[in-house]
Chain A
Amino acid sequence: GAGVSQSPRYKVAKRGQDVALRCDPISGHVSLFWYQQALGQGPEFLTYFQNEAQLDKSGLPSDRFFAERPEGSVSTLKIQRTQQEDSAVYLCASSLGIGGRTGGYTFGSGTRLTVV
C-alpha cells in the first residue's frame, strides 16, 4: 500500500482482556518495528522484524507482550491480560532497508489502547 496501515485506530480493553493490534507495512519493506508511545513521551522501542524473523525483542516490557510477522508482511502485536500501564499509543513503522540506520522510518497512525 501507499503507507503503513494500522488497525484498529482505537481500542478500549477491560483490564485482563487480551488484545491484538495489526500493522500492514509498505509493500516490499524489509524492516518492521513496533514502538510504544506514552502520553507526552517519545516512542519507545518494543521489537524489530527483518522480513519474518524477529531479530530484537529487547524492548517488550513483559512476557504478556508477543509479536509476530509470519509471512514477512503483516505483523500483529498481542498483549495478554492487559493492565492499566499498557495504555499508550502503539506505533508500527517500516523501512526499506535493514534496521534503522539505512534510512528513516515510515510510521503508521498508531493504535491508541486504553485499558479500563
Chain B
Amino acid sequence: GENVEQHPSTLSVQEGDSAVIKCTYSDSASNYFPWYKQELGKRPQLIIDIRSNVGEKKDQRIAVTLNKTAKHFSLHITETQPEDSAVYFCAAPNYGGSQGNLIFGKGTKLSVKP
C-alpha cells in the first residue's frame, strides 16, 4: 500500500517569508495529490491539489509542485500571513486498498510570526 512521509513536522517563519513543506510517496501508481489545511479544532479543508499529468499548479499565494520520477511533491506558500498558521497535511491515494482512499502524512505545524 501507499506510504506518505511529510516533513518538516514543525515550521516557523516570519510574516512575509515563504514556507515549503515536502512529501514523498511510495506507490508509482498514485496520480492525485491534495493538500489540506487544518486550523486548531476545525475540520481539514482542501486548499490545493495536483494530478500527475502536470508538474506545477498555482492558486494565488499557494503552489504545489510534483516530481513523479522522484515521487515527491511540495507545497509552497509565499508572502506568508499570520492566518496561514495551521497544520498542513499532504495525501496520496492508496491503490493497495480497494478504491484508492487517501493516505495522509503526519502533518506540518506552520507558525507565522507577525
Contact = CB atoms under 8 A, between A and B. Distances in A.
Interface of A: 31, 33, 35, 40-45, 48, 50, 55-56, 58, 91, 98-110
B63 to A, nearest CB: 17
Interface residues of B, number: 27
Contacts, number: 75
Contacts of B89: 42-43
A31 B93 CA distance: 14
Contacts of B32: 100-103
Contact of A56 (B6, B46, B101, B105): B101
B43 interface: yes
Contact of B100 (A101, A104, A109): A101
B100 A100 contact: yes
A41 B98 contact: no
Nearest to B96: A58
Given A42-B104, A43-B104, A107-B44, A48 B49 contact: no
